Amino acid sequence: VKERRWLLTIAWERRVAYALLGLTALTFVATASVDNGYNWDEWKQTEALQETVRNIRYHKTVPTWNDIAFLPGVVVALYHALPELPEIVAELRERPFMPFEVGNYPALTRWQTDMYRRIGTEGFKAEVRTVHLLWTLPALLWVFLTVLRLFPHRYLEAAAAAAFLGLSWEVAMRSRNTEVDAPMMQFVALVVYLTSVVLTARTRQHLLLATLGIGAAAGMVLACKVSGIWVGVGALVVVLFAPGAEGVRRRVVLVAAFVVAFVAAFAAASPDSYVDPLRAIHNSFFVVADYRSVAPGHPYYVAPFGEHVGRVLMWLFLVQPSSSVPLSVVLSCATIPGFVHLARRRRRFMALVALHPITLLLSMVSLPLLQLRNYLQLAPLMAVAFGVGVIAIGTALERRPWARRALGAALAAIFVFNAGWLVMADHSVRTTDRYTILAELRDHIDDTDHDLVVSPRLARALDGYLEEHFECTSEGAIADLHDPRVAFYFRDHNPWRYKAVRMGFYERVFGPLDANYDWYTLWKGKWEHQRIIWMTPEHASEMSLVMNSYLRCRRK
């Protein structure tokens, strides 16, 4: 009976783990809310794609945005060309001696006209974002496989690691936009996985294949962002210290394979680097200078080093795992034994993969610009550490099955919460409008006992509500009010004076759950949402909000 139960358990664990992985992937894709509004920089991709369509030539007009972010748009444009493709090819074959003028080929012109109509529309943007999201999705698989590779047959823990990554609101948010950080995270996850493969390769052929793979993945990371160079350096060290790389000749072969794959992948994914090398180099210097420049008052600039590190770690451990800080703490607590367990039981793996975050943090923290999306690439390692942490805790509780079951139930509950949050966020992006936002604000005012300092525009929008419940004057000291809160439309303040990357700075933001406004304060989103900020007067003064014209409202 014992043997049969054991057989059933391992079969059950494997199936449940695959089902959980599938569910996580489905939640990740299905709650994408790719129609969540405007991103600051997507217009650059749109403009470049228009140029590509206009000239029928791969043309990236803005060198600051690389090909990894540009390619999803090209993929969608090519997808729309498929129905016309046979006719386009036939026309090209019919007139081989004619100079290539788009107007000479009706099918090509039809496609071009159709693309002019589409590009720039919300529908097209959603299609591009969907491709981008799918481009990010394999990160879940890489994390799952990494845990499985390091600790064979621990399927449930591997699925938990994938859920840690796939159900994170922060990861989901960054994956919705055509920004390069989410695909970069995917390639970093692939490098982490291939590190485990290189270290545990069972034959020389496997080792060579894994070396080629890790080279290609590291090349793709560099193609995403210059800061990805640290991943390349780390991956090279992995290859140098691979267990099967004994002997100078063998090592030289592996390093050569790594370099070839690295350069090939980088060149394929970043043609700018050799087609237009001077501009590419200029752009690299521009990015470095931009990150080094100090812009006083800029929402995303912080005091260097100490503050930078503190905020990044705060985000990584208290925000990134879950939208609820207490639950983030619980999940992060599981990552710590994971790191310890990795350091003790998979020492070489831990030493090698730690190179990347350490070098990244050291190189970035001296720069005043703090854009948290740059640190999204650390999420896969956190997820792996989480999975391993669950293994370590499970092993420690081996003699207390009830405690293990309780741990499993608690983690399942947290993941259900995270998944529920993603569903809710997706729903809120679709259903929120300025009326629901105002209704939510009214409910909140009813539920609290604060006096209010309200912007004139918001007071007008509340349409008689304030007069009914408050006595409002345009003069008087804010300090005389009872525990006051300032409420105003996001548009009521100069965007560049907002404070960003500060947890809890804004007590409440009434709007859709399309961004975590503490960290991405200037997110534009959909214009019609018109979010409302609710904060203490002290914090409002700190970000130089001019409240002279605001109404002082005392409860009746």
Binds other proteins by CB under 8 A, chosen from 12, 16, 40, 89: 40
Binds other proteins by CB under 8 A, chosen from 240, 409, 528, 546: 528
Binds other proteins by CB under 8 A, chosen from 474, 527, 546, 549: 527
3-state class of 64 per DSSP?
coil
Q: From CA 36, how far away is CA 513, in angstroms rounded?
A: 9
3-state class of 293 per DSSP?
coil
Stretch that binds other proteins, among 18-26, 36-44, 74-82, 134-142 (CB under 8 A): 36-44
Minimum gap (Å) between residue 349 Cβ and other proteins: 9
DSSP letters spanning 27-45: HHHHT--TTS-B-SSHHHH
| 524 and 37 Cβ atoms separated by less than 8 Å | yes
Nearer to other proteins, 341 or 373 (CB): 341
122 forms part of the interface with other proteins (CB under 8 A): yes
Nearer to other proteins, 6 or 285 (CB): 6
Nearer to other proteins, 442 or 554 (CB): 442
79 forms part of the interface with other proteins (CB under 8 A): no
Three-state secondary structure string covering 490-541: HHHCCHHHCCCCCCCCCCEEECCCCCCCCCCCCCCECHHHCCEEEECHHHHH
Minimum gap (Å) between residue 431 Cβ and other proteins: 11
305 forms part of the interface with other proteins (CB under 8 A): no
Nearer to other proteins, 95 or 430 (CB): 430
Binding mask 486-525 for other proteins (x = CB under 8 A): -----x---x----------------------------x-
456 forms part of the interface with other proteins (CB under 8 A): no
Binds other proteins by CB under 8 A, chosen from 33, 36, 42, 111: 42
Nearer to other proteins, 114 or 276 (CB): 114
Contacts of 481 (CB under 8 A, 6+ apart): 451, 452, 453, 552, 553, 554
Nearer to other proteins, 319 or 461 (CB): 461
Binds other proteins by CB under 8 A, chosen from 12, 79, 116, 305: 116
Binds other proteins by CB under 8 A, chosen from 60, 129, 149, 356: 149
Nearer to other proteins, 95 or 347 (CB): 347
Binds other proteins by CB under 8 A, chosen from 22, 83, 86, 152: 152
204 forms part of the interface with other proteins (CB under 8 A): yes
181-200 binders of other proteins (CB under 8 A): 196, 199-200
Distance, C-alpha 446 to centroid of its chain: 36
120 forms part of the interface with other proteins (CB under 8 A): yes
399 forms part of the interface with other proteins (CB under 8 A): no
- How does 465-501 read in b/e, with b if 16+ C-beta sit within 10 Å? ebeebbebeeeeebeebeebbbbbbbebbeeeebbbb
| 157 and 147 Cβ atoms separated by less than 8 Å | yes
Q: Distance of CA 542 to CAs 33, 486, 499, 522, Å? A: 33, 13, 9, 17
- State phi, psi for 452 to the nearest 5 degrees: -125, 150
Tally of CB atoms within 10 A around 330: 14
Stretch that binds other proteins, among 150-158, 305-313, 326-334, 375-383 (CB under 8 A): 150-158
Structure tokens, 530: 């018109």
Binds other proteins by CB under 8 A, chosen from 121, 293, 363, 544: 121
3-state class of 553 per DSSP?
strand
| 63 and 280 Cβ atoms separated by less than 8 Å | yes
3-state class of 224 per DSSP?
helix
Environment class of 446 (CB within 10 Å of its CB; exposed 0-12, middle 13-18, buried 19+) = exposed
Structure tokens, 388: 């391993």
Stretch that binds other proteins, among 39-47, 157-165, 226-234, 306-314 (CB under 8 A): 39-47
What secondary structure letter does DSSP report for 317? I
- State phi, psi for 301 to the nearest 5 degrees: -100, 135
18 forms part of the interface with other proteins (CB under 8 A): no
Stretch that binds other proteins, among 71-79, 112-120, 440-448, 538-546 (CB under 8 A): 112-120
244 forms part of the interface with other proteins (CB under 8 A): yes
Minimum gap (Å) between residue 495 Cβ and other proteins: 6
Q: Distance of CA 427 to CAs 36, 170, 213, 513, Å? A: 11, 17, 39, 9
Structure tokens, 243: 């267990």
Minimum gap (Å) between residue 438 Cβ and other proteins: 12
What secondary structure letter does DSSP report for 489? E
Minimum gap (Å) between residue 206 Cβ and other proteins: 8
| 325 and 319 Cβ atoms separated by less than 8 Å | yes
54 forms part of the interface with other proteins (CB under 8 A): yes
Binding site for other proteins (CB under 8 A): 3-4, 6-7, 10, 38-43, 46-47, 50, 54, 116-117, 119-123, 149-153, 196, 199-200, 202-204, 206, 243-244, 345-346, 348, 434, 491, 495, 524, 526-528
